[in-house]
Structure 1
Amino acid sequence: MKVLLTGATGFLGWRTLEVLVKEPRINTIIATGRTLKKTHQIDHEKVTYVLGDLEDLSFVQEIIQNVDYIVHAAALSSPWGEKALFERANVLTQKNLIKAALEYGIKNFVFISSPSLYFEFKDRFDIKEEDKLPKKLINAYAKTKRKAEVLLTHSGLTYVILRPRAIIGRGDTVIMPRLIRVFDEGRLKIIGNGKNIADLTSVENVATAILLSLQAKEEALNQTYNITNGAPVVLWDAIADVLTQLGKKKPVKKLPYKLVKTIATLLEFKSILTNKKEPALTRYGVGTLAKSLTMDISKAKRLLGYNPKVTTEEAITEFTNWYLSNGK
Structure 2
Amino acid sequence: MALNIIMKILLTGATGGLGYRTLEQLISNVQIEKIIATGRIIRPTHFVEHSKVSYELGELEEENFVSELVKQVDCIVHAAALSSPWGKYSAFEKANLFTMKNLIKAAKKHHIKRFVYVSTPSLYFNGKDRFDVSESDELPKKFINAYSKTKYEAEIEIENSGIPFIILRPRALIGRGDTIIMPRLIRAFQEGKLKIIGDGKNIVDLTSLANVADAIELSLFVGFEGINQTYNITNGQPVKLWETIDKVLSLLGYRMSNQRVPYSIVKLVSQIMELKAKLTNYAEPALTTYGVGILAKSFTMDISKAQKLLGYTPKISTNEAIEEFVNWYIQNERS
TM-score bracket, normalised by the shorter chain, equals over 0.9
Q: CA deviation at 1:327?
A: 4.7
- Contact kept? 1:3, 1:69, Cα under 8 Å: yes
Q: Relative to 1, partners in 2 of residues 1:209 and 1:327: Cα closer, same or farther, differing over 3 Å?
A: closer
Aligned to 2:53, which of 47, 52, 58?
Answer: 47
Q: Deviations over 1:110-158 (max 9, x none)?
A: 0000000100111000001011101111000000000000000001110
Aligned to 2:115, which of 91, 99, 109?
Answer: 109
TM-score where L is the length of structure 2: 0.97
- Contact kept? 1:76, 1:89, Cα under 8 Å: yes
Matched, 1:298 2:307: no
Q: CA deviation at 1:326?
A: 1.2
Structure 1 unaligned regions, length at least 5: none
The one-letter amino acid of 2:291's match is: G
Matched, 1:29 2:35: yes
Runs of 4 or more off by more than 3 Å in structure 1?
A: none
- Contact kept? 1:17, 1:42, Cα under 8 Å: yes
- 1:174 corresponds to which residue? 180
Partners in 1 of 2:20 and 2:231 — Cα distance?
A: 21
Structure 2 unaligned regions, length at least 5: 1-6
Q: Deviations over 1:151-202 (max 9, x none)?
A: 0000111000000000000011100000011100001000000000000000
Aligned to 1:239, which of 237, 245, 248?
Answer: 245
- 2:81 corresponds to which residue? 75
Partners in 2 of 1:199 and 1:46 — Cα distance?
A: 33
Aligned to 2:128, which of 105, 122, 130?
Answer: 122
Pairwise CA RMSD? 0.6
Q: 1:314-325 to 2 correspondence within 5 Å?
A: 314-325=320-331
- Contact kept? 1:240, 1:251, Cα under 8 Å: no
Secondary structure (helix, strand or coil) at the match of 1:27 reads strand
The one-letter amino acid of 1:109's match is: F
TM-score where L is the length of structure 1: 0.99
The one-letter amino acid of 1:195's match is: K
Partners in 1 of 2:284 and 2:255 — Cα distance?
A: 27
Partners in 1 of 2:333 and 2:301 — Cα distance?
A: 35
Secondary structure (helix, strand or coil) at the match of 1:71 reads strand
Partners in 2 of 1:104 and 1:327 — Cα distance?
A: 40
Q: Deviations over 1:279-316 (max 9, x none)?
A: 01000000000000100000000011000010001101
Q: Deviations over 1:237-270 (max 9, x none)?
A: 1100110000000231000000000000001111
Q: Deviations over 1:77-124 (max 9, x none)?
A: 000112111000000000000000000010000000000010011100
Partners in 2 of 1:327 and 1:173 — Cα distance?
A: 9
Aligned to 2:98, which of 73, 92, 98?
Answer: 92
- 1:266 corresponds to which residue? 272
Secondary structure (helix, strand or coil) at the match of 2:32 reads coil
Q: Deviations over 1:18-61 (max 9, x none)?
A: 00001000010000001111111100000000001100000000
The one-letter amino acid of 2:279's match is: L
Identity %: 61
Partners in 1 of 2:191 and 2:258 — Cα distance?
A: 15
Aligned to 2:149, which of 140, 143, 154?
Answer: 143
- 1:311 corresponds to which residue? 317
Secondary structure (helix, strand or coil) at the match of 2:57 reads coil
Partners in 1 of 2:53 and 2:235 — Cα distance?
A: 28
Count how many residue pairs are aligned between Structure 1 and Structure 2: 328
Q: 1:217-256 to 2 correspondence within 5 Å?
A: 217-256=223-262
Matched, 1:183 2:189: yes
Q: CA deviation at 1:273?
A: 1.0
The one-letter amino acid of 2:34's match is: T
Partners in 2 of 1:28 and 1:212 — Cα distance?
A: 17
- 2:3 corresponds to which residue? none
Partners in 2 of 1:107 and 1:215 — Cα distance?
A: 11
